[in-house]
């Protein structure tokens, strides 16, 4: 596999196999409406084969961060339409990561009456709200009769995304957020049909993905997973359970024919990654950036070993809007500034220089 050759994922014809990872940047303001600055940021990075946006909330309860964009209101949809138009005008493709934060939020952040999760288990430690640091709150366990409404939130958000001109959606089942919380026994202690066995723990994720596929088409739907990521209180430290759970998930998704599976794990050559790839019946994107950024050399090694169909990169894309050209030419790279990853304004967002031409 050559990183710099075209590839087709469902309805998406990528110019190359470098994918911009979903990266939380919290520049949307209190109303969750994407701004002209956000449109400029994504437009600058349109040379990547596919951009996956930051996680975008599906409802008030789903909002995880102050400044996070949403896809709930007409105004938010119109903001995303401006983003899509800008990326398309620059020749790029963009997928929206559709996200429910689950218990990884706080009512002082979301403005909702509660936070929700599969089970009433709080994350240990503190979170930061607009009013300062506070302990993570105990979420309310989602009742059985509430689950269909959450499925419909994902469907409605995905429909809005495509109506805005976004090319595809990536459903977020990684990094400790709601869908991931259902998959792991550490965060899902339910005793009904959605908890306990691996077959039960994958059920809600499969229902969400299936409903979105039925609404907008499998050729425009991807899924992100991060087995063994072990952050935000979702601990998956039983390797046998992980292999069974995610293998069953891959089997359940295979008949759908998704546009892609976005797989985050530090060992793309490992048995877990390659087993899932062989079973999921979808183009396989890998991202290895757990503790350190995915480098050019690492991406090239993944490609040369044919471990995936594309490689997802984060911090290199933040700091280098023209990362494809830089990596193709083996040129020097800008260094990312972590102090400006989150927060308002253009600094560390749209002001990284491109290569001189």
| Catalytically active residues, by annotation | 177
The CA-atom distances, in angstroms, between 187 and each of 124, 198, 235 are: 12, 13, 8
Please tell me the distance from the alpha carbon of residue 279 to that of residue 277, in angstroms, as a whole number: 6
Among candidates 167, 171, 166, 168, which has minimal Cα distance to 183?
Answer: 171
Cα 284–chain centre separation:
14
Among candidates 250, 322, 239, which has minimal Cα distance to 279?
Answer: 250
Q: How many CA atoms lie within 13 Å of 194's alpha carbon, on the beta-carbon side?
A: 24
The CA-atom distances, in angstroms, between 121 and each of 110, 137, 140, 142, 236 are: 18, 9, 8, 12, 16
Among candidates 253, 224, 71, 70, which has minimal Cα distance to 162?
Answer: 71
Tokens of 69: 């964009």
Contacts of 204 (CB under 8 A, 6+ apart): 118, 147, 179, 182, 194
On the 0-12 / 13-18 / 19+ scale of CB atoms within 10 A, 146 is exposed
């Amino acid at each position: 596999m050559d990183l710099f050759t075209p590839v087709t994922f469902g309805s998406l014809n990528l110019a190359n196999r470098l994918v911009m990872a979903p990266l939380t940047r919290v520049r949307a303001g209190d109303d969750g409406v994407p701004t002209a600055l956000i449109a400029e940021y994504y437009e600058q990075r349109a040379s990547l084969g596919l951009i996956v946006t930051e996680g975008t909330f599906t409802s008030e309860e789903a909002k995880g961060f102050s400044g996070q964009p949403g896809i709930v209101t007409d105004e938010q949809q119109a903001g995303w339409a401006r983003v899509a138009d800008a990326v398309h005008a620059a020749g790029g493709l963009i997928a929206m990561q559709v996200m429910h934060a689950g218990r990884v939020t706080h009512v002082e952040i979301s403005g909702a009456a509660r936070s929700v999760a599969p089970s009433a288990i709080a994350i240990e430690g503190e979170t930061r709200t607009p009013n300062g640091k506070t302990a993570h709150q105990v979420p309310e366990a989602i009742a059985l009769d509430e689950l269909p409404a959450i499925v419909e939130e994902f469907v409605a958000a995905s429909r809005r995304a495509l109506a805005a001109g976004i090319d595809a959606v990536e459903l977020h089942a990684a990094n400790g957020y709601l869908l991931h919380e259902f998959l792991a026994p550490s965060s899902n202690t339910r005793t009904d049909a959605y908890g306990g066995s691996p077959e039960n723990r994958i059920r809600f994720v499969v229902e969400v993905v299936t409903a979105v596929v039925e609404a907008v088409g499998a050729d425009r739907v991807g899924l992100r997973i991060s087995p063994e990521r072990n952050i935000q209180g979702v601990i998956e430290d039983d390797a046998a359970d992980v292999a069974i759970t995610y293998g069953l998930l891959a089997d359940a998704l295979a008949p759908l024919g998704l546009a892609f599976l976005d797989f985050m794990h530090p060992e793309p050559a490992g048995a877990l990654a390659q087993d899932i790839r062989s079973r999921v019946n979808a183009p396989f994107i890998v991202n290895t950036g757990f503790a350190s950024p995915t480098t050019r050399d690492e991406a090239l090694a993944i490609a040369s070993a044919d471990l995936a169909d594309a490689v997802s990169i984060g911090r290199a894309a933040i700091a280098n809007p023209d990362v494809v050209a830089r990596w193709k030419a083996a040129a020097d790279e800008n260094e990312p500034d972590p102090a400006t990853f989150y927060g308002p304004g253009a600094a560390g967002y749209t002001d990284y220089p491109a290569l001189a031409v």
